[in-house]
Structure 1
Amino acid sequence: MNIEHLDEPRLLFAKGTHICPQRGIAEYGVFDQSQETRRNAIYIGGVGTAHCVELLGKWVERCRGVIAAASDVKQENLRLPFCGFNRDSGFGADINFSTDLSRSLKNSEVKEILDIENRAERVQKAIDYYYENIKFLAQNRHVDVIVCVIPEPLFKVIATEERSSEDTIDANEPKYEELNFRRALKAKAMPLGKPLQLMRQVSLDETKTSGQQDDATKAWNFCTALYYKSGPTIPWKLEQGTAKASSCAVGISFYRSRDRQTLSTSLAQIFDELGNGLILRGTPVEIDKDDRIPRLSSQQAHDLLIVALNEYRVALRTFPARVVIHKSSNFSEEEIDGLESAARAMKIDAVDFVTVMDSKLRLFRDGNYPPYRGTFARLDEQRHLLYTRGSVWYYQTYPGLCVPQPIELRIVRSEESPSFIAREILGLTKMNWNNTQFDGKYPVTLGCSRKVGEIMKYLTESDTPQIRYGYYM
C-alpha cells in the first residue's frame, strides 16, 4: 500500500488565495467582488410569526457588523470572528431586511396547525400557510432570498426523521409516502424564482445556546449561504493551473420517489471554472431484481450527458476538453458505453470514470488523532482511499465528533493519474457554499446531487426544475 498526503487545495478570492473560506473572504473579499455584473446589496424577505420575524431582524442587524469568535476556543483558525456583512467588509455588499420585506404567520394559524392530529394534514397545512406568504413576497416585494423561520412548537410537530439510503430500494420495506416539510416547501415555492432559507426559531434566540453553534460560526454559514443564493454570485472558486485544458465535472446519483417504489437519476454538473452548478433531472431507471442496484441504460446515459454538455456549451460557448464523471455506485458496461458515445458525439478528447463511495476500511496514525485530511492510499490500480475528513493541520485539531470515514475512489477509466483525480475530488469537497468549514466529505458533484434528489422527488413531471443549486441547498 502506497500512502501520500495531498496538499490542501487553495481557493481564489477577489484579491488573493487561501485554503480557508472564512479567512479568504475576510482578508481578500468574495471572488466576484470585482465583477461589474454583481450587486452591492441583497434584500432578504422573512416569513414566520411576529416574534420570529423580530428575532430575524435582530440577527440580520448583528450580521451587518463584526461578531467576535467564541472565547473558549483554543484553535483560533477553527473559529474565526465574523467579518460583518456590509459594503466595506469581505462581502462587499449590504444586507437589507425590514418589516416591509416580511410577512407574519398568525399565532391562531400556528395553533390551528398544532391542533391537527393527523401528521400528513398538519404538515400540509403548514406548507400552505408558509407558501401563501412566500408567494406574496416573491410577487410583491423586491427580495432576493426568503428566510422562513419555524417556531419551536411548530417545528416539533412537523419535523421528519431521515429514512434510509436514497440509492437502493428494499423490496421488503413497508410502503409509505414521504412528506418532508422542508423538501416539499422548497419544491412548491420553486416556480416563484426565489430561493428559500429555512431556520428554526431557536437558532435566532440569543437566550438559547445549548446545542447551538457559536454566533460567529453561525453568521459565517448563514451569510455565505444567503450571498450565494441571492445569485448570480459566487463567494470563492478553486484555484486552477493554466497548464490543464478546460474540464467539466459531472455527478450522477439516484433518488427515490416519495412512495419509494421507483428510482430516478439526478445530475449536478459543475459547468465552468467559477464553480457554477447546473441541475438536470434524469429519468426513472430499472432495478435489477437480483442485486437491487440502480443502473442507467446505455441510451439514458447517452441522453443525460448530451443534455449536460449542450448546457455547458450554452454557458461557455464551447465544449470542455475533458469530462470527469463521478457516480455513487459502480459503473455498468452499458453506462460506460452510453457516456462514451455521448462524449464522442460532442468531440470530447478525454473522459474519466470514477466511482465515489464510502469505505469500511480505516487507517490509523500515531497518537490520539485520526489521519490527516488529504491522506491518500493506493490499494491497487483501481481502488484508492481518500480522507476528505480527518485531522486538519490548519485547524490544529480534528474538527469532527465521530471517527472519520474515508471515501473509496474506484477509477474505472482515466486519462489522468490517480493522484490528480484525488486532488480534483479533494478540491470539489470545498465547493459547498452552505458551509464555510472546508473539510466536506463528498465532492460537490455528488453532495449536490443528493441534495437535489431530496427536493426533486416533490416535483411533478410537468414542473420545471430550477437549474441553480441555490434552490436546493
Structure 2
Amino acid sequence: MTDLPEVSLTTLFIDEPDLEFGHGQLLDHPKDGLYLYGPAGAPIAGSVVRVGVVGTAVGITDLKSWLARLNAGISVPVAGEREKTDRPHLSDFPGLREAYAITVDEKALVTCNLDLADIERTTTIANHHEAVAKTADLYVDAVVRHLRNEEAAVDVWLMVVPEIVHERCRSTGSGRKSQDLTPGEFAKKTKRREILPLFDGLLDTSAEDIFDDVPDFHRQMKAKLLVHAQPCQIIRETTIAPERHLDRLGRPKRGTQDPATVAWNLATALYYKSQSRPPWKVAGMREGVCYVGFVFKLIPNHRDHHACCAAQMFLSEGDGVVFRGANGPWYTEGKEFHLSKDAARGLIERVIETYRTKFGADPKELFIHGKTKFSPDEWDAFAEAAPSGTTITGVRIRPTSGDMKLFRDGDYPCIRGTAVVLGERDAFLWTSGYTPRLDTYMGPETPNPISVTILRSTGDIPSIAVVLSDILKLTKINYNSAAFADSLPVTVRFADKVGDVLVMGSAQDAERQPFKFYI
C-alpha cells in the first residue's frame, strides 16, 4: 500500500464581526444591541410609525392585536420538559419603544378593507396568471386609491393575506391544477378576434400583459408597488393568528417560529422599511469601500431567453441601492450570465456616480461579488469605468454542496468564521457553524463552507484574509429579520429575490430604488 503524502492546509479564524448600535455602542448580536442601546442613528424616542394595512376585516383585527403585543413586548415561551431550559438563541422581545425607539398606534392605522369573497373569487380563476394578477391588484389598487384620494401619509404598508392566497397564488407548490393558457390562447378565450384588415392592430390586447409577470403573489406585490415607491411587508394571517387556523386534530396548520422571534423579525422589517437609516450597521468597515452584487434573471416567456441584469450596491452604513441594468441576451451557451461591454460599463458607472453623489468622492475600493467568472469584455468595461483613484476587485462566491467537511474535536461542527486557505486567491469560509455566542449550531447537518475566489483586480490583489473578513461582515446585514447572521453575504444572499422582482413586467419602469423595496 502506497503511503499518501501529508497535506498541510493553512487555516485561519476570523472573529465574529461587531455591529454598531445607538450611541456608537458595539455588540455582535442584533437583538442584544437593540435591547441595550437602541438602533444606530435612532429616531426621537417614541417616534410613531405611520402604518397602512390592507386585508380582510378579520386579518386587520388580528394585526391590530399583534401590533398591540409588539408595543407591549413578548416573552420567549417556557421550555417544555423535553426542551433545553437554557436557549440562548431565543430572546425575549422587549417592545417596539424599548428596542427600536418607535411605536405604532394600532388604533390609528390607515386601513383598507378587502372582501374575503372577492379574494375567493380571484384566487379561483381558472387561469393561474390571471388569478394571481387580479388577486395582487386587489391589494395594490387599495394602496393606489389611498395615494390618490387621501392626505394621510403612510410610512410602510402591511399586507395581511389569508391562507388561500398563499395556497393558490404561488409560482410553485400551489397545490392547484392550474389551467394555464399561453398568451395567444388567452386572447382567443377572452374575446373573439375578427380577422378584418380595417381593424387589424387596433384590437385591445392589454389583457395579455398578465403574462409579463410570473404568477407569484409575493413577487407581483413587490413589483407593482415598486413603481409607486411604496415599501410593504407581506404577512400571512397564519403567522399572527396561528390559533385560528387549526387542523382537524386541533393543532396549528403550519408551524411558525415562537411569537418573540416573529416579533423581532417583524419589528426589524417595520423599522428598516419606515426609517431613513437601518437599525444597525457593521462596525469597523473600511472607509471608502463599496460592495456590489450582480443580479441576473431570465425574463419569463421570452422567446430569445433574454435576461434582466441589476447591481446591488451596499455601503459601510449597511443600507443598499438596486440599479436596474439593460435587458438583453446575457445568458450564454455555457449556462452563465455575461453582460456586453457597454451594458457592464453603464451599470458600474451608475454605481460609482451614486457613491460620488452620497459621499462627495469616488470609492477607494469597489468589490464586485458574483457567482461566476467575469468575461474579458465585462472586466475591460469595469476597468474603463473605474476612476483613477478607484481599485476594482472581482470576487466569486459560491455555496458548496458537501465536497468539503471540517470537524471540531473530530465530531462537532467547526466554528463559524473558520477558513481554509487554498492559495493567495482561494479559500473555503464557514459562514455557518457552531456559534459560541449562541452556544449552538443552527443547522440540521454538518455545515458546508462557501467557496471564495479573488478573480482579478485593477490594482494590487488584496489579501485573502481581508476579503474573507469583509464577506463575513456582510453576512450580518439582513434587515428582514433580527437573526444573528446569514450563511451568505448580503451581496449574494438576496440576488435571486431582487431578480425575481425586476423581471416582472410591472417593474419595468423602476430604474433605481432602495434595497428595502425588494425584500
TM-score > 0.5, shorter chain as reference:
yes
Aligned equivalents of 1:316 and 1:177: distance in 2? Answer: 37
Name the counterpart of 2:482.
436
Q: Deviations over 1:189-214 (max 9, x none)?
A: 22222211111110011515551000
Name the counterpart of 1:13.
21
Aligned equivalents of 1:109 and 1:142: distance in 2? Answer: 27
Name the counterpart of 2:280.
236
Name the counterpart of 2:230.
194
Given that 1:45 and 1:97 are in contact with CA atoms closer than 8 Å, whether structure 2 keeps it comes out as: no
Aligned equivalents of 1:128 and 1:98: distance in 2? Answer: 26
Name the counterpart of 2:389.
348
Does the C-alpha gap of structure 1 residues 278 and 320 become closer, same or farther in structure 2, counting only changes over 3 Å? same
Shift of 1:435: 1.6
Aligned equivalents of 1:53 and 1:150: distance in 2? Answer: 10
Shift of 1:11: 0.2
Given that 1:250 and 1:324 are in contact with CA atoms closer than 8 Å, whether structure 2 keeps it comes out as: yes
Name the counterpart of 1:458.
504
Q: Deviations over 1:107-159 (max 9, x none)?
A: 22123224422222211220121111122344423211111111112321112
Aligned equivalents of 1:240 and 1:294: distance in 2? Answer: 33
124-133 or 8-17: bigger deviation:
124-133
Aligned equivalents of 1:462 and 1:119: distance in 2? Answer: 22
Q: Say whether 1:425 aligns with 2:466.
A: no
Given that 1:102 and 1:137 are in contact with CA atoms closer than 8 Å, whether structure 2 keeps it comes out as: no
Match of 2:53 among 43, 46, 51: 46
Aligned equivalents of 1:74 and 1:325: distance in 2? Answer: 44
Match of 1:180 among 187, 207, 216: 216
Given that 1:285 and 1:295 are in contact with CA atoms closer than 8 Å, whether structure 2 keeps it comes out as: no
322-331 or 220-229: bigger deviation:
322-331
Q: Say whether 1:269 aligns with 2:278.
A: no
Q: Say whether 1:113 aligns with 2:122.
A: yes
Given that 1:249 and 1:326 are in contact with CA atoms closer than 8 Å, whether structure 2 keeps it comes out as: yes
* 3-state SS in 1 of match to 2:72: coil
Name the counterpart of 1:250.
292
Shift of 1:48: 0.9
Q: Deviations over 1:33-75 (max 9, x none)?
A: 1x67x98221111111100000000001100012111322545
Aligned equivalents of 1:100 and 1:294: distance in 2? Answer: 45
Does the C-alpha gap of structure 1 residues 162 and 330 become closer, same or farther in structure 2, counting only changes over 3 Å? farther
Name the counterpart of 1:126.
135
Name the counterpart of 2:271.
227
Given that 1:13 and 1:31 are in contact with CA atoms closer than 8 Å, whether structure 2 keeps it comes out as: yes
Aligned equivalents of 2:104 and 2:30: distance in 1? Answer: 19
Match of 2:259 among 211, 215, 236: 215
Q: Structure 1 counterpart of 2:70, which letter? A: C
Does the C-alpha gap of structure 1 residues 252 and 56 become closer, same or farther in structure 2, counting only changes over 3 Å? same
- What is the 5 A alignment of 1:56-205? 56-72=63-79, 74-86=85-97, 89-98=98-107, 100-139=109-148, 140=150, 141-161=152-172, 178-205=214-241
Q: Deviations over 1:214-248 (max 9, x none)?
A: 0010000000011000131210001116xx44111
Aligned equivalents of 1:192 and 1:402: distance in 2? Answer: 43
Given that 1:255 and 1:263 are in contact with CA atoms closer than 8 Å, whether structure 2 keeps it comes out as: yes
Name the counterpart of 1:171.
none
* 3-state SS in 1 of match to 2:405: coil
Name the counterpart of 2:189.
none
Q: Structure 2 counterpart of 1:354, which letter? A: V
Q: Deviations over 1:246-292 (max 9, x none)?
A: 11111112111122622221110013x21221110112343565412
Aligned equivalents of 1:131 and 1:461: distance in 2? Answer: 13
Aligned equivalents of 1:94 and 1:275: distance in 2? Answer: 23
* 3-state SS in 1 of match to 2:51: strand
Match of 1:372 among 398, 407, 415: 415
Aligned equivalents of 1:381 and 1:159: distance in 2? Answer: 44
Q: Structure 2 counterpart of 1:151, which letter? A: P
Aligned equivalents of 2:329 and 2:86: distance in 1? Answer: 50
**Which structure would you say has the larger Rg?**
2
Shift of 1:176: 10
45-54 or 443-452: bigger deviation:
443-452
Name the counterpart of 2:400.
359
**What is the aligned residue count?**
453
Does the C-alpha gap of structure 1 residues 137 and 216 become closer, same or farther in structure 2, counting only changes over 3 Å? farther
Aligned equivalents of 2:504 and 2:380: distance in 1? Answer: 31
Does the C-alpha gap of structure 1 residues 454 and 216 become closer, same or farther in structure 2, counting only changes over 3 Å? same
Shift of 1:412: 1.4
Gaps of 5+ in 1: 164-174
Aligned equivalents of 1:407 and 1:464: distance in 2? Answer: 32
* 3-state SS in 2 of match to 1:136: helix
Aligned equivalents of 1:189 and 1:145: distance in 2? Answer: 11
* 3-state SS in 2 of match to 1:294: coil
* 3-state SS in 2 of match to 1:467: strand
Does the C-alpha gap of structure 1 residues 203 and 465 become closer, same or farther in structure 2, counting only changes over 3 Å? farther
Normalising to structure 2: TM-score of the pair? 0.82
Q: Structure 2 counterpart of 1:179, which letter? A: P
Aligned equivalents of 1:289 and 1:57: distance in 2? Answer: 50
Shift of 1:98: 3.4
Does the C-alpha gap of structure 1 residues 190 and 289 become closer, same or farther in structure 2, counting only changes over 3 Å? closer
Aligned equivalents of 2:445 and 2:142: distance in 1? Answer: 40
Gaps of 5+ in 2: 1-8, 175-210, 246-251
352-361 or 193-202: bigger deviation:
352-361
Normalising to structure 1: TM-score of the pair? 0.90
Runs of 4+ in 1 over 3 A off after TM superposition: 73-76, 97-100, 285-290, 366-369, 459-462
* 3-state SS in 2 of match to 1:98: coil
Aligned equivalents of 2:136 and 2:237: distance in 1? Answer: 17
67-76 or 395-404: bigger deviation:
67-76
